[in-house]
Chains A and B, each alone.
Chain A
């Protein structure tokens, strides 16, 4: 009984902290329509800032606390709103989520730059752990204060939302989230206020929770999962229910801390179960949640420009990849070639996001976790070089993927993202760390002693044991995966996926089972990720769970999205950035951090251009090259010549990469004027098509925002019914109103 009371008190404290965090999350979501995955990272940053002030610089505790929560955090929230979030109005939901993932990655990297992770730090609870006796129990003052603060936050939010004018405006959205989220016109003041308050609450929660954990960026950031669980219980809108949810998560977590070690059976399997508690709560909450209404077409500010891939274009891409792979395999130094074999597996994992995120518009935060499962399967089923292990990896990942996505299928895309994020964290912290266990009499250790070793496969005469052979095989496997994705996009499933992304409501009223289609694409992408994980593990031969961590997975997602998540080339980009020595040799030991920082910063720009670099920059630049046979032949010829010269040792090894780079830069520059002249003589371009516009029609909104004049010109061109436009000040807002009527939520 005594023990129970102790756990209850500490559980209530934890619950209070989660409630503070979750209410901030819910408040920003309902007010601005942005679900801030970086909410936990903001709290982490605040905790570090607090440590810096109170511990390193010796500020008085109250001063440091108040400064962090009431000065630094609101200013940071304001900055976030001004620089990043404001531009997200009118962006697709997947972009909004990905941009907050980018904020998370940038904040974590920033914290790791500023506070060297290898130093041990600790903050103390308030009042240095002192407390008072009540009924034989020591009640820390800290816990009393935390509960008081949580109650004050609840009361403060109630006052804000019911009494103040700005708050009433915000509450209009809290009460009707379908209007809130879909409404294009968001008064800037409520949004700003919401970000300031939300960030303050994140900071407060981060500082209060820090003494319960070590001061380490990633665990503090991942506390967000607890806040998710609470917020989901509040159906992402009800603040009182969110507080109740926090109570459930907080108490469950602390009872687990207290009682799980007392279970006499299977202790070694349960040790890591704590991080899984919020995931379980989240799962239950998702299962009891009412099905979301089918969404109509979102009012997007930017049109997606990704064209359907053609087999001819895919052929060119495949030829280029194969050519590059052969050159790399024959010219790279032994060590470089070994460290680059990882490229193809990661490229396949990146590619796995294309059908799911790119075509179907659903976000998954656990693709790399599926890759980890694939790696484990290959390690165990490979049994010495059996290639069927790769298929098994894909199959097992597919099954796990299907099961994971099931609870979220009835719900809108955001819940799938949350569920996959929670799943990735659970795998990270628990499943991948499990010791050996026995399934059906088979001894099975996922990551045996923390390391997996994998043998490369051999089929008949094809032995992939050498790095060169495996590098080429990896390229072939990647191209096979590319063929699958292209075939999907060009076939009926691809059109279904586009339909699900564009308008689930319309798809359903035409007879499409949207849930089944989502399940299909999630399973497919999990299978591809599993295959990628298998290929990756075979490439590096020995791997640890770290390679498949949640955080690395987020970096991978960001690379793919920055490159252009509807383009197959984006997978390759992820492979090149994460799986080759190129980045590593340029930046040394910090390479992972440098990549994360750069990619995160690049992803913040997505708000302005959600299409990504490949479709909006690279493809237009290289299109003239493709259409100009002379330039194409010249480029290939020049590279081939350099390659041959390198092979016969006629030139130094580093001439080839420089030459390739030079050709890559020069070819579009040469081809563009040529292509321009050809077009002029052929007269293919319909004259006057872009008349009255500030740029070519396809490019409107890329280089500069679309102006009023452009809209007018387009309206005139399209002969839009002005009576309809009169119902709203802008095309976009007129559209949103209608969208709410479709019954979206």
Chain B
């Protein structure tokens, strides 16, 4: 059974339907990808999952329990953590303080020691920036800091919103390895990403969202082969194969 599920979620902004009866599941121990063109509703879905947005209809289940009406902080304490597409760091605090604060906020029931903030920074390669104010970090480093901060709450489910944008190819490769490690440790990861190389490399399962509707799902190879996906992305069924890496973030971002 999926650790995190949403069932028939619909979200409206005024007359605009941002999500229409979306159902998906995120399983522990692997990376699940969520892709789709700009404005498809990916970030909206994250907001619904984390409780920042209450859906007009539908349910969110964590470990089989209905958490749809639960406040964001309660969901976090049950093991959900996320990063933000537009950085939401605590800018006046240092990188280390950002992570340290998060370790103190982590769910109360979790057994074991508090994670070591220094070690977390090390894990994402930010040790050298521990004492820098977070708002002085460039975007790429800020994204890694958000990841460290999310890991600091010892989540069971990790939601990553475009974590690789602003990173160079080497950094992205290192990041892919890190994702693999985390999944092996048993985390359920939902990854929103425009960098198809990364998505194809790390994801075990993919969902494709387009104009708020779930259009396709399956393992990466079958999604890549799906003509409707190509059409949604490229406007035509001919063109660059989204999986070859020649069509990078720029193409997919339309």
Which residues does A use to contact B, with CB under 8 Å? 175-176, 293-294, 296-297, 303-304, 306, 492, 495-496, 498-499, 501-503, 505-514, 718-721, 723-724, 735, 738-739, 741-743
Contact = CB atoms under 8 A, between A and B. Distances in A.
Contacts of A294: 52, 72
Given A297-B88, A721-B139, A741-B44, A508 B72 contact: yes
B9 to A, nearest CB: 14
Interface string B24-63: 0000000000000000000110010011110000000000
Q: Which residue, of A304, A501, A509, A743, has the highest number of chain B Cβ atoms within 10 A?
A: A509
A492 B117 CA distance: 14
A3 to B, nearest CB: 47
B85 A741 contact: yes
B153 A511 contact: yes
Given A510-B153, A724-B139, A296 B73 contact: no
A741 B72 contact: no
Given A498-B93, A741-B44, A512 B73 contact: yes
Contacts of A306: 92
A495 B97 contact: yes
B91 interface: yes
B149 interface: yes
B138 A718 contact: yes
A683 B148 CA distance: 34
Given A492-B101, A741-B47, A513 B86 contact: no
Nearest to A718: B138
A724 B165 contact: yes
Contact of A506 (B44, B80, B88, B249): B88
Interface of B: 13-14, 43-44, 47, 50-53, 71-73, 75-77, 80-82, 84-93, 97, 100-102, 104-107, 135, 138-140, 149-150, 152-153, 165-166, 249-250, 253
A326 B87 CA distance: 49
DSSP majority for the A interface? helix
Given A721-B139, A721-B166, A738-B84, 15 more contacts: A175-B14, A304-B92, A495-B100, A498-B92, A502-B92, A509-B52, A510-B101, A510-B105, A510-B149, A510-B150, A511-B105, A721-B165, A741-B43, A742-B43, A743-B44
Contacts of B92: 304, 306, 498, 501-502
Q: Which residue, of B14, B52, B87, B165, has the highest number of chain A Cβ atoms within 10 A?
A: B52
Contacts, number: 134
7 closest pairs, A vs B, by CB?
A: A738-B86, A511-B76, A506-B88, A508-B72, A718-B138, A511-B105, A743-B52
A526 B88 CA distance: 29
Contacts of A724: 139, 165-166
Nearest to A516: B73
Given A508-B72, A511-B153, A297 B87 contact: yes
Given A509-B81, A510-B81, A510-B149, A296 B14 contact: no
A741 B140 CA distance: 20
Nearest to A506: B88
B13 to A, nearest CB: 8
A723 B250 contact: yes
Nearest to A495: B101
8 contacts: A176-B13, A294-B72, A492-B101, A505-B72, A511-B106, A721-B140, A738-B43, A743-B44
Contacts of A297: 86-89, 91
B177 to A, nearest CB: 21
Contact of B53 (A175, A495, A738, A743): A743
B84 A742 contact: yes
A157 B168 CA distance: 53
Nearest to B165: A721
Contact of B107 (A175, A511, A513, A743): A511
A513 B52 contact: no
A742 B153 contact: no
A502 B146 CA distance: 14
